Amino acid sequence: MRALGLIGLLAAAAIVLVAMVVVGRGLADSTGDGPSHVQTGADKAYNELKKDGDMDDPKEEMRDALKGNL
């Protein structure tokens, strides 16, 4: 009898954890700021360089700048 109670308790805990994950993912996706929409500083800088259009390959320019070849 005690074993059945323990198994029921573990099953209830698992159901609660799964529900928390599902709700958390739903909230993250509804705001539009989820992990798929996050941009790093490097991504923002690359997009700005691409928009300017005054460089042939912004990625190559950034690599050269990091190496010290300005």
Using the predicted structure, report yes or no on whether residue 15 has a pLDDT greater than 90. yes
Q: Does one domain contain both 34 and 45? A: no
- What domain range is 63 assigned to? 39-70
Rounded CA-CA distance 30/36 in Å is 12
Q: Within the chain, how many helices (H) and strands (E) appear?
A: 3, 0
Structurally, the chain folds into a number of domains equal to: 2
Q: Does one domain contain both 47 and 26? A: no
Which residues lie below 8 Å from residue 47, measured CB to CB, with a gap of 6+? 39
Report the share of the chain in percent with pLDDT over 70: 74
Residue 54: the pLDDT is 64
pLDDT tens, position by position, 23-39: 888 776 655 555 556 67
The average confidence (pLDDT) of the chain is 79
